[in-house]
């Protein structure tokens, strides 16, 4: 099968407008006859389900959590980008488009990214209309801040809880449609199989996680809004339940997987503190607006950070990247931290951490401004700290509290210790311009698809993409498929394809629980995570990746011999749920290594040690690797398909933030 990205013709800035005014429509009475399944209720899923229901489609929405409001979008902290140019600092749709393509190290599709930038402004309007309480200025207008990889202030936020507020907005829209009878909500349900009839996606098999029973659900189309797969690393900033299962079942059923090795390691997370650690906690990128990153200039410096004088501190991001300083993109900040720690300059007990220090901006920036407002001439240090602390508290209070709660250290007094951690996956199911996967009728939205962020995502762009896909893209593009489905009557779930899919899922679950070995699911997950982190993490090499593939294969074989799952199938059994997810991670991990091995270049979050500049920056190979890797499942192996990327509006260059 050849990959058809279905990018509309025309100049990049007109494509979406043209598309919208020429795409076939489904009339209101036909919409009422069409059923859509939405799996996942994060920003992409909740906004899609709500909007499609508002338009008249019959929607069924599924989430594995106990309520759609708990999807992991809720934990996004810093903000959401939009090209509003409210700050009059020269922002525009084109600039957001350009920053995103460059930030993604020239591995994203131009047309999709331009559309994303165009939709960004409507998202803010929509969220405000829903009652999302964004931060505001005294005059009543919306407030903005900066994020990495940009030189304008285009990030809208609600303290350090932007994802929560946006998701609760989308969730309220979803629940409104539930109340109106247009959406049927299935919480505590997990999708375990895709149902295909005549090559098209026609439904899913879902497992009711409370009763353990399998259910058959028909849909004219299926939308996967199931988030990313960062938990393949075991330790990540993802929620404990975040998983690849729905996307992986789709992949096995024919959906190609795009750029699986493109994962984002976020530079500012609270470091690992012990072997029992179950997850890592992010400290928002917004902190880099006011926090300065440094390590001591001496190796193995054991002094308390507050005792290290200014001239013995290396603000290495400001030194290496003066134009962007502490606000370089995530991949660059992460690698720079690793470089310093590997060279012996790391801090804290493990020496695998760097400082994120707020003292300078707290006192010199905010303290002085406040003092000047109060007409205090020559304020002393104590006054500056007192006044500055109030400002910092308002901006980041909840993050500082969270840091203190976890580490037992007060970041108002002592610099934070931070280290990179797995955060986001740019890779995902390959989709065309309509967001349709290679299985007709099956779509992927938000983090679950591969489309907009190339090899590295800029901060505050995940929320933007999830909501753009759900509120503004899929409601239009799905008509391009469903207009041809208006004659398709709902298919009975007694159809043989439903029976076969349910049987397959049932056999798989019975097999897993029947193994009754000696090792817990968790122990396999932890071991897989360690292989992935060490060999397919921040730095990758041919040798390491080949070893990782062999190790994962061996671990997977052992899993199917020795895993122990307590309890039974037809009951609430979280260990069984987890086992199914880990089984899929054990396959995905191998594909990620295969993809990383294929890509003989460094770009964005994918850093192959063999391919770097003399200064240690990522060395792209545009001649040979300017493509999206789209992997087709062939049972036990994969076949690579390539989507060539064409840049007609942006001049390709080596990415520089110096």
Partner 1 sequence: MSKLMKLNLKVWRQKNTQSAGNFEEYKVDASPDMSFLEMFDVLNEQLIETGKEPVAFDHDCREGICGMCSMVIDGRPHGPKQGVTTCQLHMRSFNDGDTITVEPWRANGFPVIKDLTVNRSAFDRIIASGGFVSTNAGNAVDANSILVPKEIADEAFEAATCIGCGACVSACKNASAMLFVGAKVTQLSMLPQGKPERQSRVVAMVNQMDAEGFGACTNTGACAAECPKQIPLSVIATLNREYISAKMNGK
The nearest distance, CB 242 to partner 1, in angstroms, is 8
Residue 515's CB is within 10 A of a number of other CB atoms, namely 16
The nearest distance, CB 642 to partner 1, in angstroms, is 35
The nearest distance, CB 92 to partner 1, in angstroms, is 16
Q: Which two tokens stand for residue 651?
A: 């001049």
The nearest distance, CB 54 to partner 1, in angstroms, is 4
Instruction: Report the site for partner 1 in 6-65 (rule: CB under 8 A).
Output: 47, 50-51, 54, 65
Instruction: Report the site for partner 1 in 384-413 (rule: CB under 8 A).
Output: 401-402, 405-406, 408
Residues 549-568, mask of contacts with partner 1 (x by CB under 8 A): ---------------x-xx-
Of 275 and 634, which CB lies nearer to partner 1 in the complex structure?
275
Residues 275-294, mask of contacts with partner 1 (x by CB under 8 A): -xxxx-xx------------
Instruction: Report the site for partner 1 in 588-647 (rule: CB under 8 A).
Output: none
The nearest distance, CB 53 to partner 1, in angstroms, is 10
Interacting span for partner 1 (CB under 8 A) from 21-29, 162-170, 339-347, 614-622: 162-170
The nearest distance, CB 131 to partner 1, in angstroms, is 5
DSSP code of residue 569:
S
The nearest distance, CB 106 to partner 1, in angstroms, is 31
State the Cα torsion 283-285-289-293 to the nearest 10°.
70
The nearest distance, CB 278 to partner 1, in angstroms, is 5
The nearest distance, CB 213 to partner 1, in angstroms, is 14
- Please calculate the CA angle 652-657-658 and round it to the nearest 5 degrees: 120
Three-state DSSP at 653 gives: coil
Of 73 and 146, which CB lies nearer to partner 1 in the complex structure?
73
Of 45 and 203, which CB lies nearer to partner 1 in the complex structure?
45
Instruction: Report the site for partner 1 in 240-269 (rule: CB under 8 A).
Output: 240-241
Of 158 and 603, which CB lies nearer to partner 1 in the complex structure?
158
Residue 274 burial by CB count (10 A; 0-12/13-18/19+): exposed, middle or buried? exposed
Instruction: Report the site for partner 1 in 354-373 (rule: CB under 8 A).
Output: none
Query: Who's near 193: CB < 8 A, 6+ residues apart?
Result: 204, 205, 249, 253, 501, 502, 504, 505
* Distance from C-alpha of 73 to C-alpha of 171, rounded to nearest angstrom: 11
Of 338 and 578, which CB lies nearer to partner 1 in the complex structure?
578
The nearest distance, CB 377 to partner 1, in angstroms, is 28
Of 175 and 643, which CB lies nearer to partner 1 in the complex structure?
175
CB-CB contact of 417 with 346 (8 Å): no
The nearest distance, CB 137 to partner 1, in angstroms, is 6
Interacting span for partner 1 (CB under 8 A) from 97-105, 129-137, 331-339, 537-545: 129-137
* Distance from C-alpha of 228 to C-alpha of 194, rounded to nearest angstrom: 18
Q: At what angle do helices 43-55 and 162-179 cross, to 10 degrees?
A: 30
Residue carrying structure tokens 């398909």: 641
Instruction: Report the site for partner 1 in 130-149 (rule: CB under 8 A).
Output: 130-131, 133-142
Interacting span for partner 1 (CB under 8 A) from 172-180, 363-371, 496-504, 648-656: 172-180
Contacts 24+ apart (CB under 8 A), 479-482: 479/23, 479/24, 479/25, 479/26, 480/23, 480/24, 480/434, 481/221, 481/434, 481/436, 481/440, 481/441, 482/26, 482/34, 482/220, 482/221
State the Cα torsion 403-408-410-411 to the nearest 10°.
-40
The answer to the question of residue 159 lying near partner 1 (CB under 8 A) is: yes
* Distance from C-alpha of 47 to C-alpha of 172, rounded to nearest angstrom: 10
Instruction: Report the site for partner 1 in 439-458 (rule: CB under 8 A).
Output: none
Instruction: Report the site for partner 1 in 175-214 (rule: CB under 8 A).
Output: 175-176, 178-179, 185, 187, 210
Instruction: Report the site for partner 1 in 459-498 (rule: CB under 8 A).
Output: 471-472, 475
Q: Which two tokens stand for residue 390?
A: 């109030």
Number of residues that bind partner 1 (CB under 8 A): 81
Of 327 and 482, which CB lies nearer to partner 1 in the complex structure?
482
Residue carrying structure tokens 């991990």: 589
Instruction: Report the site for partner 1 in 60-119 (rule: CB under 8 A).
Output: 65-70, 72, 74-75, 84, 86
Report CA Rg, the chain: 24
* Distance from C-alpha of 404 to C-alpha of 418, rounded to nearest angstrom: 13
């Amino acid at each position: 099968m050849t990959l058809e990205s279905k990018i509309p013709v025309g100049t990049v800035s007109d494509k979406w407008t043209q598309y919208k005014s020429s795409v076939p429509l489904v009339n209101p009475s036909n919409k009422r006859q069409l059923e859509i399944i939405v799996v996942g209720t994060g920003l992409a899923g909740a906004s899609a389900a709500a909007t499609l229901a508002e338009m008249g489609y019959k929607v069924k929405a599924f989430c594995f959590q106990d309520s759609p409001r708990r999807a992991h979008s809720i934990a996004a902290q810093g903000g959401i980008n939009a090209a509003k140019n409210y700050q009059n600092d020269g922002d525009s749709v084109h600039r957001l488009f350009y920053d995103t393509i460059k930030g993604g190290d020239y591995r994203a599709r131009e047309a999709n990214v331009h559309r994303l930038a165009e939709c960004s402004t409507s998202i803010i309007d929509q969220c405000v209309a829903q009652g999302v309480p964004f931060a505001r200025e005294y005059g009543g207008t919306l407030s903005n801040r900066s994020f990495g990889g940009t030189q304008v202030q285009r990030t809208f936020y609600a303290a350090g809880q932007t994802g929560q507020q946006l998701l609760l907005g989308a969730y309220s829209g979803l629940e409104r449609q539930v109340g109106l009878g247009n959406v049927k909500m299935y919480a505590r349900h997990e999708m375990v199989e895709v149902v295909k009839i005549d090559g098209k996606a026609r439904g899913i098999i879902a497992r009711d996680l409370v009763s353990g029973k399998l259910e058959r659900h028909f849909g004219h189309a299926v939308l996967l809004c199931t988030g990313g797969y960062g938990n393949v690393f075991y330790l990540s900033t993802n929620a404990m339940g975040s998983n690849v299962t729905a996307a992986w079942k789709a992949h096995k059923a024919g959906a190609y997987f795009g750029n699986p090795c493109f994962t984002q390691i976020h530079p500012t997370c609270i470091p690992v503190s012990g072997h029992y650690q179950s997850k890592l906690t992010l400290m928002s990128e917004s902190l880099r607006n006011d926090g300065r990153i440094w390590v001591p200039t001496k190796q193995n410096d054991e002094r308390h950070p507050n005792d290290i004088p200014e001239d013995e501190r290396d603000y290495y991001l400001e030194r290496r990247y003066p134009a962007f300083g502490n606000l370089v993109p995530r991949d660059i900040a992460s690698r720079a931290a690793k470089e310093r720690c590997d060279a012996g300059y790391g801090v804290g007990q493990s020496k695998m951490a760097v400082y994120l220090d707020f003292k300078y901006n707290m006192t010199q920036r905010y303290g002085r401004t406040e003092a000047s407002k109060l007409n205090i001439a020559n304020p002393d240090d104590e006054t500056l700290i007192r006044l500055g602390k109030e400002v910092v508290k308002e901006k980041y209070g909840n993050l500082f509290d969270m840091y203190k709660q976890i580490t037992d250290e007060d970041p108002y007094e002592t610099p934070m210790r931070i280290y990179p951690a797995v955060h986001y996956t740019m890779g995902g199911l390959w989709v065309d311009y309509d967001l349709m996967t290679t299985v007709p009728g099956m779509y992927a939205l938000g983090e679950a698809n591969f489309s907009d962020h190339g090899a590295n995502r800029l901060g505050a762009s995940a929320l933007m993409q999830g909501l753009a896909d759900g509120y503004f893209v899929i409601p239009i593009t799905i008509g391009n498929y469903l207009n041809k489905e208006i004659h398709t009557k709902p298919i009975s779930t007694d159809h043989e394809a439903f029976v076969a899919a349910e049987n397959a899922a049932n056999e798989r679950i019975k097999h897993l629980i029947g193994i009754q070995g000696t090792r817990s699911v968790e122990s396999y997950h932890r071991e897989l995570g360690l292989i992935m982190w060490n060999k397919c993490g921040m730095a990758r090499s041919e040798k390491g990746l080949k070893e990782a593939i062999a190790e994962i294969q061996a671990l997977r074989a052992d899993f199917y011999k020795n895993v122990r799952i307590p309890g039974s199938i037809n009951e609430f059994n979280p260990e069984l749920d987890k086992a199914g997810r880990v089984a899929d991670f054990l396959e995905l991990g191998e594909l990620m290594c295969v993809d990383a091995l294929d890509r003989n270049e460094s770009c964005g979050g994918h850093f192959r040690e063999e391919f770097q500049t003399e200064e240690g920056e990522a060395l792209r190979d545009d001649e040979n690797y300017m493509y999206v890797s789209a992997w087709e499942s062939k049972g036990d192996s994969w076949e690579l398909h390539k989507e060539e990327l064409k840049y007609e509006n942006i001049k390709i260059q080596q990415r520089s933030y110096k």
